[in-house]
Homo-oligomer: A and B are copies of this chain.
Amino acid sequence: MAVHTDYIEVETGGKRSVVDLSQQLASIASKSGVSDGLLTVFVPGSTAALTTVEYEPGLVKDIDAFLERLLPYSEHYAHHETWHDDNGAAHLQAALLGPSLTIPIVGGELTLGTWQQPVLIDCDTRPRRRRLVVQILY
């Protein structure tokens, strides 16, 4: 086997910024020259998450509204007592969505749907710099 490891650097605004990773992942898959294999993206850190979504402005608003309703930033969380942090909601949102995403590559292409984009959702309460790990096994 072979393992190809790469990175994506992203500056986010936090507050459930949704960042479309389509072009960067397609570029990494293409540069790797891999025909058939498995691509994994992982976000180090516990206040951001990865999933897929149709990336369009309406759904970006809907994701924000849904996560705020489910876990409001302004509520009190026990986490705030531990470090005097204000991002308890961000931790729970990220743990629920999950830190990793795996997508098969077939014939040199990610097998995503036409209206399906791989995204980073940064739930933290402030802007963050994220360095995602991308690994292709083939």
Contact = CB atoms under 8 A, between A and B. Distances in A.
A46 B94 CA distance: 19
Task: Give the oligomeric copy count.
Answer: 3
Given A98-B51, A98-B98, A116-B44, A62 B92 contact: yes
Interface stretch (A9-17, A22-30, A72-80): A72-80
Nearest to A102: B100
Interface string A73-99: 000011111110000100110111111
B116 A46 contact: yes
A32 interface: no
Interface of A: 1-3, 5, 36-38, 40, 42, 44-46, 51-54, 56-59, 61-63, 65-66, 70-71, 77-83, 88, 91-92, 94-104, 106, 111-113, 115-117, 133, 135, 137-138
